[in-house]
Structures are given as C-alpha cells and as structure tokens.
Structure 1
Amino acid sequence: MTDSIKMEYSLELEKGFNIIAGPCAVESVRQMEIIGEFLNKLDIKFIRGGAFKPRTSPSSFQGLGIKGLKILGDIKDSYGFRVVSEVLDPRDVEKAYDYIDIYQIGSRNMQNYPLLIEVGKTDKPVLLKRGMSATFEEWIKASEYIAMGGNQHILLCERGIRSFDDYTRNTLDLMSIPIIQGKTGYPIFIDPSHGTGRKELILPAVRAALVLGANGVMIEVHPEPAKALSDGIQSLNFKEFELLLNNVKKLEQALDEDMVEL
C-alpha cells in the first residue's frame, strides 16, 4: 500500500479510517469463532479481545489469561487478523508476544512505567490509552517511556476522561484528535465504547471522530451483549455493528467529495 502508515510486522494502518472490533473479553473458543467469522466477512482487519481484565471489583470476571491469549492466537491464524489485546503487568509482555500484534495499555496503566518500559523494548506496536484523569502532557510523556526503549510504533487512544457529569460512563474528549496529531504525529484512535458507556451514543461518536480526522476507532462487539461477561451494556450486537459500518462508508464517501482543509 502506498497510501498507508507503515508499522512493524508488515502492519499497515490505512490513512483512511481503521476499525478495531471485538469483545471486551475473550470468554470462550466458541464465542471468538463466532465473532471472528462475522468480522472476517465484513473485511475487518483488526480484532480486539481482553485476556487479562483490569476490573474495578476483584469479584468480577478477570479474564482467561494465557488460555485467552491462545484463543486469540488461533483466531489470528484462522483469519489473518491483527490482534489487539491488553497487558497489565511487565511479566505479561513476553507471555503475550507470540499471540498478539498490538499491545494495548489500558487507562489504568497509562502511567505504569515499568510496563511502558517493557513494551518499549519490543518490536510490536503499542496502543496507549489515555488515563481517565490524565492531561495531554501526561499522556504524551507516558508515550515517551515507550519510545525511549526504541519502540516508535505507538498509537494513542482517547477513551474518555472523568468529569462531574455521570450521564455517560466517561466524557469523550474529541478535541484530543487534532491536539494529539499536532503535538505528536502519532496515529490517534477513539474508543467510543468506553468513552460513552452507552451503545446508542457509539455511532454519533464514531461519526464525529471520522469528521475530525481520527485514524480509527476501537469498538466493542458481541454476539449477545446481554450475556457478555464484561461491558455488555456498551457492546454492539452484530446488526448494530453492520449498521455502523454502513454509516461510516457513506460518511467517508461524502468527506472524500467535500472535505476542504483550512
């Protein structure tokens, strides 16, 4: 591809709109087979799924761990997906290496410096989510911990910050798109699932992110959200996700025809 942002492992982000989709958590082999088959038919290139889950309550589902990573690896081998999955601990980095293509650093670990340093030693891209209370400067400085280890393949992901209003799960700061692009040059993704916590707000947030020039979005998709072991309330079912994709394609076409940069 000539019109792409090249990264390690022949990983290429199209300059258009990239979509990372999949469940909040890897729950079973069957669940991931169903999701993998569905996303593959839609030509989705990036699949997400949590094997290690940082939950607010220790009694909540904590993920399948290594078993979950192996399931992701099998789905990757079956369909050729690029796998995005979160690591929580420096010791997880080596464990996950053979199964995933992009390390995800979640909001709670944005300033987990030993973890940032460890992924910085690898040759795989790192998707760094903004901390829920982090300033832009703190977020950018956190990315420098990754880069100083030699890994320049960094994607930044806005997932919402905390504010006084609790109507949405978080407050999605869409101005992070032009600000981060201007300050770092790194690809910027938006996570509207966590940013809003409400499935009916995901499509409007995706539309806004596309118009503002985001490089992509990360969306939680589940065959049966009501039965999901994690974040079902903010996950799209298959029909809703297909509707979102159709909207994105139409908006991309309109922007290609009408967009004029100031």
Structure 2
Amino acid sequence: MIIVMGNKSPIEEIQRVSEELSIWDVTLEKSIGKHKVVIGVVGDTEEIDPKQIQNLSPFIEQVLRVKKPFKRASLEFRYGEPTEVVVPTPNGSITFGQNHPLVIVAGPCSVENEEMIVETALRVRAAGAQFLRGGAYKPRTSPYAFQGHGESALSLLAKARLASGLGIITEVMDTSDLDKVASVADIVQIGARNMQNFSLLKKVGATGKPVLLKRGLSATIEEWLMAAEYILDTGNPNVILCERGIRSFDRQYTRNTLDISAIPVLRSLTHLPIMIDPSHATGKSEYVSTMAMAAIAAGTDSLMIEVHPNPAKALSDGPQSLTVEGFEQFMQEIAGLGRFFGRWTQDRSPSATLSLQVSSTTAIFSG
C-alpha cells in the first residue's frame, strides 16, 4: 500500500500520519519526490481500510494498494517517479536514472595484471567511460576455466581507480568475500548465476552499497524483480537492473538472446534504473555496437561494454570484447544517437591532462 501526499505537506503532518500508521504491524518507507511525498506501507495490509487512511489527513491525496508481488520494486511504490542511483566516484558523483545522461561502463571480463587493467582504465576513461568493470572473482561453467585472481585482483582494481578516477564495478560470488569486494567496489555486482542466491542478496543489500543485479540466464522478468525485492527489503534503495541476454534455443550465432523488450516492459513495472550488457548478450564483438544502439533507442540508462587491449589473448570472454581502439570508435558511433535522445553529455571527450597521462602510463609499461 502507498499513501500519496502533496510535496507541500507540512513535515509535522507527514510525521503525524506516520505515527498513526504505526499502530499496525507494518514497515513504513518515506520517499520524497519532486512533486509528491509517498509513504510506502509494507507488510500485512489486508485489514487496513484505505478509506480510513484517507481520512487521517487533508494532505493525503490518494491511497493505493500495490497488487504486484514485488512491492518495493514496483513503479507504484514511488508513484511513477523513477529512482536515481547516485554513486560517488573519484571523478565526481555519477547518477544512474531515466532522466539522466547515459552511463558507460567499460573494461575487461577479468583483471589479468596491473599493466592491463590500469592502461585499460585510462584508455576507456579518455574515451568517455565513467566506470571500470573487471572481475576479480569469476563464476565459470567449467571448473578448469580461469576463475579470476581473487583478492590480489581487487588491489589492482583499487590501483586502476586511483590512476583513472573511474568508479569500480566488480562481482561478488560469496558472502565470505563481501567485505573485501565492498571495500574496493563503488557498485557491487550480483552476477546472472547468483541472481537467486537470496542469502547473498540480503548480505549485499545490507552493505548499503549500490548493487548491480544481472538477470539470470533463464529468469523471467518477475523473478528478476523479486530478486531485486530482496535487496530493497534490506533498506537499500540503490539497485540497478542489468539485462545481459537470456538463454534461448539458438546459440550458434550469438551467445545469448538480448531481450531488448525488457526495457519498455521494465519501464511499465519498476522505478529502478536499467543497464544493458550487449557484450555478454551477443558473445561476439561485431554485434556489440548495433545492439548497444538498439538499447539506447529503447531507453536504457546505462551500457556495460567489455574492452580488452588484446582480446585474442584474453583469459576470459575474448570473442565478445572490443579492443581499446574499437571502444573509442564505438563511443563515436553511439554519441549521435545518445545526443538525439538527450542522453549524452558534452564532457566525454578526453582532457589534455588525461590524454597525457594515458600516453605516459603506456610508455612506462611498454618501456
């Protein structure tokens, strides 16, 4: 159930309504938007009469029941107002949200060594990325495949963050590693294989860190949103949904099937920001740009792009990774479409200082 009050409602009146509601065994969550103040009432509300609530205050405009199973994730819970996930980074705060510029996340599937991750960070930052992705812990189908360097890779991500000013997104696989990952990551990623690892979702939510929740390989949209509900239920509102392709019957030509339709469907169901990962979805670098542009046209809030200095020698997911030069070209290709839809900023071009830093760092590593 949600209670909608005008944004000019006195603070004392909002507090009084909240106190009146506390007689029931429910949890209250207040959301102050640009035009409305919404009090979410979560719990057993079957016995609560909406008309009785309506009479509590003349400032109450509407009382609505949220009928969807995902209560906090539902669009109604914020009365149609999209959530803004603001993430502090060394280069300033970045906002993920429907009414903000497209956020670009780029980097390799896994952190391989210091030279590779620092140089990649500097180059993608110079091309216009705001976040660096890189796996320290890698869930792999085969136990014999490269599993990531673990804790040592986290320290390399910290170095890349310091050198580039990019925010860091990296995956946590196990609750035992959560504190270490959260100490480095600006956004903690829950991978597709852990989307329904509910104990992990609760622990990650409790950190208060922004969470990137990837859709499971065969998950329905409702299952995905119910997974987000576990995180939101901890009191952490900072969840970003990432569509990374779902398993379908044709795996010969693409790795997965990118569900572009998930974007408008999610817009009708939830207030949470949306990210698209065309690299994992297609599995082939030559399709990444096309699918990214389709995602921009459909209304995505963010893109996650795999980038590797030498994809042919990558320890994981080389075929879907753009080269650094390919990423620079990619950014030029999507810029026009981003501007057309009003989702592009003018400050994505590399600064002279950063360009010099990239050249100097490259020279140090190559020398």
Give TM-score, length-normalised by structure 2: 0.67
Matching of residues 125-144 of structure 1 within 5 Å: 125-144=210-229
Q: Is the 8 A contact 1:156 1:187 kept in 2?
A: yes
Deviation at 1:95, TM superposition (A): 1.3
CA distance in 1, matches of 2:238, 2:294: 25
CA distance in 2, matches of 1:46, 1:132: 24
1:124 aligns with 2:209: yes
CA distance in 2, matches of 1:101, 1:254: 30
Q: 3-state SS of the aligned residue for 1:244? A: helix
Q: 3-state SS of the aligned residue for 1:103? A: strand
CA distance in 2, matches of 1:229, 1:132: 22
Q: Residue by residue, what CA displacement relative to the aligned partner does 1:7-49 show, whole Å, maximum 9, x if unpaired?
A: 2544423612111000000000111121022122223211000
Q: Is the 8 A contact 1:8 1:153 kept in 2?
A: no
Structure 1 stretches of 5 or more lacking a match?
258-262
Q: 3-state SS of the aligned residue for 1:98? A: helix
Deviating more after overlay: 99-108 vs 246-255: 246-255
Structure 1's consecutive aligned runs of 4 or more residues displaced over 4 angstroms after TM superposition are none
Give TM-score, length-normalised by structure 1: 0.93
1:61 aligns with 2:140: no
Which residue does 1:260 correspond to in 2?
none
Which residue does 1:5 correspond to in 2?
84
CA distance in 2, matches of 1:8, 1:31: 25
Q: Aligned to 2:298, which of 184, 201, 212?
A: 212
One-letter identity of the residue aligned with 1:220: E
Q: 3-state SS of the aligned residue for 1:72? A: helix
- Structure showing greater radius of gyration is 2
Q: 3-state SS of the aligned residue for 1:128? A: strand
CA distance in 2, matches of 1:90, 1:256: 39
One-letter identity of the residue aligned with 1:17: L
Deviation at 1:256, TM superposition (A): 4.0
CA distance in 1, matches of 2:222, 2:318: 32
CA distance in 2, matches of 1:218, 1:233: 16
CA distance in 1, matches of 2:109, 2:317: 7
Q: 3-state SS of the aligned residue for 1:7? A: strand
Q: Aligned to 2:233, which of 120, 131, 148?
A: 148
Identity %: 47
CA distance in 2, matches of 1:92, 1:170: 29
Which residue does 2:127 correspond to in 1?
42
CA distance in 2, matches of 1:13, 1:126: 12
| CA RMSD, 1 decimal | 1.7
Which residue does 2:285 correspond to in 1?
199
One-letter identity of the residue aligned with 2:188: Y
Which residue does 1:17 correspond to in 2?
102
